[in-house]
Amino acid sequence: MKTSSNGLALIKQFEGLRTQAYICPAGVLTIGYGSTGAHVKRGMVITEAQATALLAQDVVRFEKAVNGLGVALTQNQFDALVSFAFNVGEKALRDSTLAKKLKAGDYKRAAAQFGAWVKGGGKTLPGLVRRRAAEAALFVR
């Protein structure tokens, strides 16, 4: 599966657009709509079009991670999981109770697991609470 325009909009909404490289709350050098990696350099500046292109490139690896779970998903479920993986990482998705519930066919309990991922630096972060609620709502829609 591929992320729909709704899924990309969800990621954009919660990542926000930053055209100058910055250090995110997790201490990672980031640019655009949450793009990280060796391509991001201190002092780097990009356009919105470049940020959108980076997002399109970045999302491919998270789509792979979600597709790799090997479970049947609706488009909304897929989009919610790509947004989740984009934020927490492929390994966290793969090792999560959320993934275990999905693989067991328990989609209702899987949806409830989004809310377990709201902490950063040991604290509950309001932005993550909102994001997980939006992902869970999309997942069950």
At residue 37, the 3 state secondary structure works out as coil
> Within 13 Å and on the Cβ side, how many CA atoms surround 127?
10
pTM: 0.94
Q: By the 8 A CB rule, do 132 and 114 touch?
A: yes
| Domains of the chain (ranges, CATH numbers) | 5-140 (1.10.530.40)
Residues known to be catalytic: 15, 24
- Tell me the pLDDT of the chain (141 aa) as tens digits: 999 999 999 999 999 999 999 998 778 999 999 999 999 999 999 999 999 999 999 999 999 999 999 999 999 999 999 999 999 999 999 999 999 999 999 999 999 999 999 998 789 999 999 999 999 999 999
Residue that has been written with the tokens 């998903």 in this structure: 73
